[in-house]
Amino acid sequence: MNEAGLLVSACLLGQACRYDGESKLDAGLAAELGERALAWCPEEAGGLGTPRQKAQLVGGDGHAVWLGSARVVDEQGRDCTRAFQRGAVLALAHCLARGGRGAVLKERSPSCGSHRVWIDGSLQSGQGVTAALFQRALLSIQAR
């Protein structure tokens, strides 16, 4: 994958943007990509602050969210689906505007999970809202 224009979950590059106000720095990835990476947090871009309530998918994965049959709900039961969708759309637009062809996304996230995400209280196979949108746009996804 061409590293120029590669969108990367900002938490993997050391930005403290996770729901708990922390990062999930992947030092090897950050060193490899440096400033060529397009750091992005779909949840922050969608209007959710940091820190924020932990969220999970309810009723299905990110693909089901785009079909309207699943939602993203925080720990207090608030529906934050629209914010997750808004952040995903902005992530895709940001990536495409810079010639990007894919993303490196944080696994297990309701936004960025590429293979396993929290659905209905358990870790299950599936994709988060942003990962599902990138796949629908036929962009490559790498999980970290």
Q: Report the C-alpha gap between 6 and 4 in whole angstroms.
A: 6
Q: For the ranges 3-7, 75-79, 98-102, 140-144, which has the lowest average pLDDT?
A: 3-7
CA-nearest of 6, 24, 5, 7 to 15 is 24
CB burial of 40-63 (b: ≥16 within 10 Å; e: otherwise) equals: bbbbbbbebebebeebbbbebbbb
Which residues face 102 on adjacent strands?
A: 140
Parent domain of 67: 7-143
Q: How many domains does the chain have?
A: 1
Asked if residue 21 belongs to a domain, the reply is yes
Asked if residue 48 belongs to a domain, the reply is yes
pLDDT at 99: 87
Residue 1 has pLDDT above 60, yes or no: no
The model's pTM is: 0.94
Percentage of residues in the chain with pLDDT exceeding 90? 85
Residue 8 has pLDDT above 90, yes or no: yes
Q: Which amino acid is at 127?
A: Q
Asked if residue 2 belongs to a domain, the reply is no
Asked if residue 1 belongs to a domain, the reply is no
Task: Please give the average per-residue pLDDT across 18-40, as a whole number.
Answer: 92
pLDDT digits (tens, 9 = 90+) for 63-93: 999 999 999 999 999 999 999 999 999 999 9
Task: Please give the average per-residue pLDDT across 104-133, as a whole number.
Answer: 97
Asked if residue 72 belongs to a domain, the reply is yes
Asked if residue 111 belongs to a domain, the reply is yes
Residue 11 has pLDDT above 70, yes or no: yes
Residue 24 has pLDDT above 70, yes or no: yes
Instruction: Count other C-beta atoms under 10 Å from residue 142's C-beta.
Output: 14
Two tokens at 143? Answer: 């999980």
CA-nearest of 107, 104, 134 to 30 is 104
Q: Report the C-alpha gap between 113 and 120 in whole angstroms.
A: 15
Average pLDDT taken over every residue of the chain: 94
